[in-house]
Amino acid sequence: MTADRTDTPVVLSRLVKNYGRTEVLRGIDLELGTGVIGLLGPNGAGKTTLLKLLATALAPTSGSLRVLGRHPADPVERLEIRRRLGYVPQEVGLYDNFTVYEFVDYIAILKEHVDRVARRAEVRRVLAAVDLDDLRSKKIRKLSGGMRRRVVLAQSLLGDPQLLVLDEPTVGLDPEQRLRFRQIVSQHADRRCVVLSTHMTEDVEALCERVVVMDHGSVVFDGTPGSLAAIAAGKVWLASAPDPDALMSWRTGDGRHRNVGTAPDRADLAEPTVQDGYLVLNGGVIVESAA
Amino acid sequence: MSPVFVLGRNEGERLLRNPAIWLSFVVTLLWVRSARRVGQAEDQLFLMVGYGLMLPGFVMVTAVLLATLRSRLQHSDELLGTLAVGPDRRSLGHVASTFVCGAIGLVATGAIYVALAPSPSLGAWEASDSQVVIVPRPNIAQLLQGPMALLAVAAFVIAIVRWMPTWLVLLPLGFLVMVQGLFGGVFHGTPTSGQRWIFPLNTGVVHGPWRGCGELDIECDLPVSGFDTMTPWWHLGYLAALIAWFTAAAVLRHRRDRRAWLMFAGTLLIVVLCVAAQFVAADQFVVNS
């Protein structure tokens, strides 16, 4: 294994992806190392397309892509990438007639876990990790949306992958499960690469050591969550009334209004969050979770 | 152990747990019960050469079809497309799972054989209004025809689902059943003997020629001129070649390297050779004096 295979799991250079005449990714240059990397951006920014490229579900139109030191365009190297990959797509259909155990076991077979005893132990491990061990005999059609999402997360953890690609994995999870998800991902990210696309800026703040913001197929920010929040420094105010000139304004739980933008009258400066920084960066384009 | 084998075993175990497959044998059971009566030589022959497996086979093949279509129907192709075992090896796994169908067919044929306990002659068959023939007991090649045909049709379905991953696959499948039922079954004398061996199931009955079918004749008759017991051996080879060819066609949908093309071309050549061998070996009808 060469040095770049361990040091820089993902290297993108001038990466372009078109769907017909629509340019979805416009010459992206990125190097993603170990740890949790958050991917933020409005709908249509190209996040899901980028993740599909990393997961070898799509091929780029042009540019260079190296995943775990290998070229996905080469069938042999693509197979090697897939052997080291865990993927949670944004939307995935599960097999309703399968039990939770049967489905994860089936995916384990497709991940080349051929030894029955070892596979059983691995399936039980990932089901326990997402707190589904007690429900392993339950048919998937009887699961709630959050439980189904945990099944998808469980299959992605099979084989302890070197690269974990997660497209909005926390949608539908209750607060306790989201905290558990953070625990799983942070544990997994030790010496591995986790790329997490989400609209939940709190997850980015809590989990990621690096955040990449995309808009219109380009990277518009690449830095730490702290530096993203710092973009909004001096622009977040708490006031008794909403400011009509603010990029965004909403009433908080204590009855005061949080205004992102210029200072309204009789306002107190507030500590900015990743969400504030993101709002300022996108000039007021709303993040779903902020609504 | 190969992932293909493990996947085949996993899918095969799922087929074994499918109650519809076991329920479909009720019809076969009733047919066997009826055929055990004296004077049912034709039914006994049909049951033992594979027609007893037609309904269970159809159910099994439908189950295989649904399993192969599963990822498409349940919208999981994107996830499955990122796993190490790709669609080409999944196709092989599905084909491997059909060996469970073959095993079920083999056991069922054995059970039919035991239940009918045939002597060297199955008895007299009133083949037409003016002809009664003695039906010989089918040989091993004829007994194996049903399970092998089941495997061939299952491989056909997997191949066609790979190339046409929609419910439209039911059209060619239905057409196949219809053609088999019409030409290979009740009206098995309609095409010439050589052509009939192209269909998966063949009774071995050699018919013809039509007689008394002129405008002034009172009765039109298709007599039996014999029973072909040699061609069934070639037919087994033909069915085996079909299984390999359909499997290669299924794999070719997602893997187009040199090896896949060679496999496809090689198995196609064997199929063509087997068809030719059947045409040469098949007993042609003889004009009764």
For chains A and B, count residue pairs whose Cβ atoms are closer than 8 Å. Answer: 64
* pLDDT tens-digit profile, chain A (291 residues): 444 444 689 999 999 999 998 999 999 999 999 999 999 999 999 999 999 999 999 999 999 999 999 999 999 999 999 999 999 999 889 999 999 999 999 999 999 999 999 999 999 999 999 999 999 999 999 999 889 999 999 999 999 999 999 999 988 888 888 998 999 899 888 889 999 999 889 999 999 999 999 999 999 999 999 999 999 888 888 888 888 888 888 888 888 888 888 777 778 888 899 988 998 888 754 444 333
Which of B73, B79, B91 should be substituted to probe chain A, the one whose Cβ sees the most A Cβ atoms within 10 Å?
Answer: B79
- Which burial class, exposed, middle or buried, applies to B280 when counting CB atoms under 10 A from its CB (0-12, 13-18, 19+)? exposed
CA-based nearest distance A80→chain B, Å: 8
- Measured between CB atoms, does A179 come within 8 Å of chain B? no
Q: Which residues of A touch B5 (CB under 8 A)?
A: 114
Inter-chain touch B82–A114, beta carbons under 8 Å: no
Q: Which residues of B touch A93 (CB under 8 A)?
A: 74-76
Tokens of B278: 């059947």
Tokens of A251: 């009433």
pTM, to two decimals: 0.88
DSSP notation for chain B: --HHHHHHHHHHHHHHT-HHHHHTHHHHHHHHHHHTSTT-HHHHHHHHTTGGGHHHHHHHHHHHHHHHHHHHHTT-HHHHTTSSS-HHHHHHHHHHHHHHHHHHHHHHHHHHHHHH---SEEEEEEEETTEEEEEEPP-HHHHHHHHHHHHHHHHHHHHHHHHS-SGGGHHHHHHHHHHIIIIIIITTTSS-HHHHTTSS----EEE---BS-STT-S--B--EEEE--SHHHHHHHHHHHHHHHHHHHHHHTT--SHHHHHHHHHHHHHHHHHHHHHHHHSPPP----
Among residues A135, A146, A130, A142, the alpha carbon closest in space to that of A100 is found at A135
Alpha carbons A211 and A286: distance in angstroms, whole number: 17
Provide the pLDDT for residue A287: 44
Alpha carbons B65 and B266: distance in angstroms, whole number: 25
Among residues B160, B40, B219, the alpha carbon closest in space to that of B112 is found at B40
Q: Which residues of B touch A114 (CB under 8 A)?
A: 1-3, 5-6
Provide the pLDDT for residue A291: 36
CA–CA distances in Å: residue B200 to residues A6, B6, B150, B174, B281: 55, 28, 8, 14, 16
Provide the pLDDT for residue A290: 39
Q: Which residues of chain B carry a pLDDT beneath 70?
A: 181-192, 286-289
Q: Contact, B248 vs B260, CB < 8 A?
A: yes
Tell me the pLDDT tens digit for each residue of B141-166: 999 999 999 999 999 999 999 998 88
Provide the pLDDT for residue B287: 57
Burial B29-61 (b: 16+ CB within 10 A, else e): eebbeebeeeebbbbbbbbbbbbbbbbbbbbbb
Among residues A185, A165, A162, A164, the alpha carbon closest in space to that of A173 is found at A185
Q: What are phi and psi of A48, to 5 degrees?
A: -65, -40
Q: What is the ipTM of this complex?
A: 0.87
Beta bridge pairs of residue B123: B135
Provide the pLDDT for residue B195: 79
